[in-house]
Amino acid sequence: MLKEFRFPDVGEGITEGEIVRWLIKEGDEVKEDQTLAEIETDKAVVEMPSPYKGTVLKVHVKEKDIVKVGQVLVTIGEKGESVAEGAAEAAKAEEKPAPATGPSVVGIVPESREEIQEVLATPKVRKLAMELGVDLKRIRGTGPQGRITEGDVRAAKVAAAIPKEEKKPAFKIKEKFDFYGELERIPLRGVRRATAKRMHESVSTAAHVTHFDEADVTELVKIREGLKAQAEEKGVKLTFLPFIIKALLAAIKAHPLLNATLNDQDEEIIVKKYYNFGIAVDVPDGLIVPVVKAVDQKSIFELAGEIQTLADSAKKRTLDLADLKGGTFSITNVGGIGGEAATPIINYPEVAILATLKIKDRVRVKNGQATAIKTLPLCLSFDHRVIDGAEAARFMNDLVAKLEDADFLRRAAHSLPESIVL
């Protein structure tokens, strides 16, 4: 008996993925739970196990293709079975009228039963749209915040029954040259495609404002230098980031709105009472933000080791989905590259992100004298719907104070997490 394996809903709002690599081909015998393909989502590269055993009769999509949740990936059956015969039988079954559940209307049925893309609609409304053959992406919702209602779906079904003039297929030409010279076309795929979508969602939703400041980290540089040998004995590379996390944690505890999300639907601010910090990792085709969980329960060396492990896994694309979930605040560190200032985009639905730039000697006036000190530029982007500018400024004042407090930094370096006096 023919069985269609469709791209399953793996959760976390994932609606599509890209076929990275097929591990089987047509004609292969597969076992239940055998990995069929590696599929890249906007979260990670995941392995797709087969829910059936049998012969791979047809592979429906190619490598590098984008597939939607619910789209058929492969057809599996008994050796000698024909996919065409199975399709004919399915077509006959579809010709039988379905039991009526209400007034009969004629509409346009989608070419495939793909999962609806990211739209504001409840599972009940999505199910109704699927049953009526209505494409939610073509509906403008009349509910709160543009949410699509059952009435919108039914109205779209009626509108779809009105005959429309048939359009002739248009051929799309992609030029290799424009007026000025040669062009190269790079497909928007994988991490870059996911990054583009998330950045657009963030700037289209949150009210971005960026606050700039800097900290005198002369003492921090000395303290970190004195601990490098001890860190190497523990097998970790000690960067400045674990110290920044400890200072950031102290500032966030004093300003909890920075550790929150905004629920637009219920019009409420949800303050998180746990501290999971996302660390942006630069990979060849975009950004991946793995999450360091429970930063308040880890020592400086534990944080350094976990950051190193997550960054390595991100670059190798071996992160688990769990490594990308649960973040409450994000940090993007471009200090190894350079720069004086930046306006980072919030990792929505979080409400703030901190960018740290290059530590270097800069001339500043101290005690009436111009002197070179080591400074760290800090750039905080925040959602002005949740956080006021004054609150952001007070938060940055506290963060700078902790980064300049040598006693605090030493306690953070030498004490167990629960004994650090913030």
Q: pLDDT tens, 255-275? A: 999 999 999 888 899 999 999
pLDDT at res. 3 = 86
Q: What is the pLDDT of residue 11?
A: 63
Tell me the pLDDT tens digit for each residue of 37-59: 888 876 677 788 888 888 989 99
Which one has a higher pLDDT value, 217 or 111?
217
The answer to whether 224 touches 354, Cβ cutoff 8 Å, is: no
State the pLDDT at residue 134.
Answer: 85
Point out which residues pair with 214 in neighbouring strands. 377
DSSP per-residue codes, 68-94: ETT-EEEEEE-TT--HHHHHHHHHHHH
From residue 226, alpha-carbon distances to 223, 231, 238 in Å are 5, 10, 11
Name the catalytic one among 60, 211, 255, 384.
384
pLDDT score for 155: 82
> Is 60 noted as a catalytic residue in this protein?
no
| Average predicted confidence (pLDDT) for the chain | 83
User: What DSSP string describes 159-187?
Assistant: HHTS--PPPPP-PPP--SB-SSSB-----
- Pick 13 or 77 by higher pLDDT: 77
User: What gap in Å lies between CA 85 and CA 88, rounded to an integer?
Assistant: 5
Largest interatomic CA distance in the chain: 89
Q: Which residues contact 58 (CB under 8 A, 6 or more apart)?
A: 26, 74, 75, 83
C-alpha 189/C-alpha 167 separation (Å) is 29
Helix (H, G, I), strand (E, B) or coil at 150: helix
Two structure tokens written together for 171: 């051929």
For the segment 122-150, what is each residue's pLDDT rounded down to a tens digit? 878 888 888 888 888 888 888 777 788 88
Domains of the chain: 3-92 (2.40.50.100), 191-419 (3.30.559.10)
Contact 76, 56 (CB under 8 A): yes
Hey, what amino acid is at 149?
T
Q: What is the mean pLDDT of residues 183-188?
A: 83
Mean pLDDT of 268-287: 92
